[in-house]
A = this chain, B = another copy of it.
Amino acid sequence: MNLSEMQQLLEPLFPGLIGVMLVEVTPERVLAEMEVRSDLCTTGGILHGGACVAFADTLGAIGTLVNLSPGCTTTTTDSSTKFIAAAKIGATVRGESVALHRGQTTMVWQTSVTGANGRLCAVVTQTQLVLRPREGRQT
């Protein structure tokens, strides 16, 4: 699946609703952008923490998907975020997700979300469980 096909897959889903725009997807790194629209904000015209996490979680999940062996699926078991600075309405945030670990049972991806001038807004670290063909989805 190429970048454009992945983007089309996202459109009707939650990443489409919040405007995740994929920029680069490789097994080593996922890059994307998202405009801080007013309907992604909390009071005060700043990006809602939940929108920021949703943006980042999407990238880490895609990073995991492109590393899965055939027939495997994945589910997020944990996600933890450190919020560092606010991203303002009208800005475009950039997310860069890299793997801290790509194992047979789990993968760990960390996404840095940066705002204007490359300022770090949040760091999201998530654990993805790798589910082999015969295993169910239930954790």
Name the B residues within 8 Å of A106 (CB-CB). Answer: 77, 84, 129, 139
**A38 CB to nearest B CB, Å:** 7
Question: A133 near B: Cβ within 8 Å?
Answer: no
**A61 CB to nearest B CB, Å:** 7
Question: A40 near B: Cβ within 8 Å?
Answer: yes
List A110-126 residues whose CB lies under 8 Å from chain B: 110, 120, 123, 125
Name the B residues within 8 Å of A55 (CB-CB). Answer: 50
List A95-109 residues whose CB lies under 8 Å from chain B: 100-101, 103-106, 108
Name the B residues within 8 Å of A78 (CB-CB). Answer: 77-78, 80-83, 127
Name the B residues within 8 Å of A101 (CB-CB). Answer: 82, 84-85, 120, 139
* Residue of chain B at shortest CB distance from A51: B14
Residues of A within 8 A of B (CB): 9, 12-18, 38-43, 48-51, 53-58, 61, 75-86, 100-101, 103-106, 108, 110, 120, 123, 125, 127, 129, 135, 137-139
